[in-house]
């Protein structure tokens, strides 16, 4: 019998028969893991359970606490939820997997549902978990798949799959239900043990499950009203435009409507920002400090500068501060749990200097404010600020909404803005577009353009950025007076032209190769949109270049 040697992540080695499946190796090693093993990476490439391994090499097995495993878990759980919901509410029920929200994913349902319905769906899900029903992979031609989805009146699938250039597609069958799911699914439902459901009245259900930061625990649901309403408002706008998924966006592109979509998207966003500026101007005697925060690659810098222009048209004189300019000198930066400097932490900011200077400014005292030199790692003092009548102070930064910052200033004098790209487009009704992926693609383009970072470097550092956001941004989003959505309906089409070459530059031996493949899989459905019609003042220009605000 011919054998191969498998090397595991802890550097232990084991001999197996050539052609052994990933599922067989998982069965042999599951006792080493606290949670069920969901999948594996062999030589950097993600395997399905039934895939055979024919050569010796390194195999990384992962569970729900790994970024790859968590994605697989989410896909399987949402398929389980859809199947169970149709069992309870009827096969004519329309379910749309909309967006992530508070440790879960919001699923819109077109029927009125009660708490009793939710309990029934949850019980059916639990029963199917106990049965260990397989997610059966089926390879079929694209034409057959299109005909099938037409027969069950799933035009969302038809419109999107039409733009897939492959001749064959992979469907999954689960408990008699066929579906097209982008990405790998678990072998069966037995691993989907950790979940809960939360009803949002007259809207739908939040399917909750542990994130990679929760150690297998399902957190209690907290409804972020402003965040949710912002997403809902933009989704309603998308329905008016008849652009709620990639297929519909592509149809608009081939009908030569891309230019109009760009202008409408920009006008809507500008209108929202002008509304915020008008709110500030109406309360100018109270709002002296405008605080703007959000996760990485949300467009905070451009938004704050555009807001300043709007405030000027309303008779106010805005001054600008960045919290990043108040970093401690590099040698004084605190270390994180990994022993490396923790630049994401509030403790990395000279909060005493920041609070003192802002307090002085509000008293009318002229202040020499710092500019942080990221090359030398030290603060430099090159400009002074003084707040006069009709002056307001715009402060942008990761920690701007943290109540431990500027706690010496009365709440009525602070207006807080939370900004994030909140996508309202889906791939189709069962495959959502992650807002985290949108930000990652934006960051990859900007990092490469402005800092010369390789796409692999951006992908490699993304996990630490995300960890910082979980600690220092998301817990404070409800402190905001308003949520501003920086997503644009057209941006995936434009991003495709910039980011695809970067992703294709990542080779098979790179640790980030699998992530690159996943992102390319998302972009393959999208038709390209040229960037020349994007206004110079667009938030999107912060990433692709050519911004009016670039120095």
pTM, to two decimals? 0.89
Q: Tell whether the torsion through CA atoms of 458, 460, 461 and 467 is positive or negative.
A: positive
CATH for 227-544 is 3.40.50.300
CATH assignment of 68-226, among 3.30.980.10, 3.40.50.720, 1.20.210.10, 3.20.20.70: 3.30.980.10
Q: How far is CA 248 from CA 109, 163, 527, in A?
A: 20, 11, 11
Task: State the Cα–Cα distance between residues 255 and 271, nearest whole angstrom.
Answer: 26
Q: How far apart are the first and last CA of the chain?
A: 67
The burial of 376, by beta-carbon neighbours within 10 Å (0-12 exposed, 13-18 middle, 19 or more buried), is given as exposed
Domain-wise residue ranges, the chain: 3-62, 68-226, 227-544
Collapsed DSSP state (helix, strand, coil) of residue 370 = strand
Interacting residues of 147 by C-beta distance below 8 A, sequence separation 6+: none
Q: Which residues pair with 373 in a beta bridge?
A: 378
The total of other beta-carbon atoms located within 10 Å of residue 56's CB is: 16
One digit per residue, the tens of pLDDT, for the chain of length 551 reads 799 999 988 889 998 999 999 989 988 888 888 888 898 888 777 888 888 998 898 998 989 998 889 999 999 999 999 999 999 999 999 999 998 887 899 999 999 999 999 999 999 999 999 999 999 999 999 999 999 999 999 999 999 899 988 899 999 999 999 999 998 899 999 999 999 999 998 899 999 999 988 888 998 888 888 888 888 888 888 887 888 899 999 999 999 889 999 999 999 999 999 999 999 999 998 999 999 999 999 999 999 999 999 999 999 999 999 998 999 988 888 887 777 778 888 889 999 999 999 999 999 999 999 998 888 889 999 899 999 888 999 999 989 999 889 988 899 999 999 999 988 889 999 999 998 999 999 999 999 999 889 999 999 999 888 988 888 898 899 899 999 999 999 999 999 999 999 999 999 888 899 899 999 999 999 999 999 999 999 999 999 999 998 86
CATH assignment of 3-62, among 3.10.20.30, 3.30.565.10, 3.30.70.1350, 2.30.42.10: 3.10.20.30
């Amino acid at each position: 019998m011919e054998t191969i040697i498998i090397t595991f992540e802890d550097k232990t080695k084991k001999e197996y028969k050539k052609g052994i499946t990933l599922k067989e190796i998982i069965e042999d090693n599951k006792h080493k893991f606290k949670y069920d093993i969901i999948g594996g990476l062999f030589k950097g490439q993600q395997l399905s359970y039934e895939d055979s391994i024919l050569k010796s090499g390194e195999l990384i097995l992962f569970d729900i606490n790994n970024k790859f495993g968590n994605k697989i878990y989410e896909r399987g759980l949402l398929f389980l939820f859809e199947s169970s919901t149709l069992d309870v509410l009827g096969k004519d029920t329309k379910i749309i997997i909309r967006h992530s929200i508070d440790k879960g994913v919001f699923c819109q349902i077109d029927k009125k549902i009660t708490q009793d319905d939710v309990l029934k769906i949850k019980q059916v899900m639990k029963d199917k978990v106990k049965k260990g029903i397989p997610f059966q992979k089926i390879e079929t031609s694209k034409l057959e798949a299109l005909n099938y989805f037409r027969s069950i009146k799933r035009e969302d699938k038809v419109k999107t799959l039409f733009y897939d250039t492959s001749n064959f597609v992979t469907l999954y069958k689960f408990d008699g239900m066929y579906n097209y799911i982008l990405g790998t699914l678990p072998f069966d439902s037995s691993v989907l043990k950790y979940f809960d459901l939360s009803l949002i009245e007259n809207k739908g259900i939040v399917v909750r499950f542990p994130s990679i930061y929760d150690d297998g625990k399902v957190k209690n649901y907290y409804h972020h009203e402003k965040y949710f309403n912002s997403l809902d408002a933009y989704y309603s706008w998308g329905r008016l435009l008849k652009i709620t998924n990639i297929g519909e966006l592509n149809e608009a592109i081939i009908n030569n409507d891309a230019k109009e979509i760009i202008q409408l998207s920009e006008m809507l966003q500008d209108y929202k920002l002008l509304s915020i500026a008008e709110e500030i101007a109406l309360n100018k005697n109270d709002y002296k400090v405008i605080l703007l925060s959000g996760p990485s690659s949300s467009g905070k810098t451009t938004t704050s500068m555009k807001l300043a222009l709007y405030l000027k048209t309303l008779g106010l004189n805005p001054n600008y501060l960045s919290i990043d300019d108040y970093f401690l000198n590099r040698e004084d930066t605190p270390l994180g749990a990994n022993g490396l400097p923790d630049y994401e932490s509030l403790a990395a900011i000279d909060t005493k200097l920041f609070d003192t200077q802002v307090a002085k400014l509000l008293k009318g005292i002229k202040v020499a404010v710092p500019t942080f030199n990221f090359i030398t790692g030290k603060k430099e003092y090159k400009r002074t600020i003084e707040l006069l009548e009709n002056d307001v102070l715009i402060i942008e930064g990761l920690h701007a909404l943290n109540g431990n910052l500027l706690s010496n200033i009365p709440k009525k004098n602070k207006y807080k803005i939370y900004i994030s790209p909140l996508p309202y487009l889906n791939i189709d009704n069962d495959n959502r577009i992650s807002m985290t992926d949108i930000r990652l693609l934006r960051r990859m383009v900007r990092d490469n353009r402005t800092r010369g970072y390789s796409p692999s470097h951006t992908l490699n550092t993304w996990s630490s950025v995300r960890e910082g956001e979980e600690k220092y941004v998301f817990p404070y989003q409800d402190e905001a007076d308003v949520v501003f959505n920086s997503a644009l309906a057209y941006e995936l089409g434009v991003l495709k032209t910039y980011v695809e070459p970067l992703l294709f530059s990542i080779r098979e031996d790179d640790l980030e190769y699998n992530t690159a493949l996943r992102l390319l899989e998302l972009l393959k459905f999208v038709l390209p949109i040229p960037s020349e019609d994007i206004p110079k003042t667009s938030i999107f220009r912060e990433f692709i270049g050519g911004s009016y605000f670039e120095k």
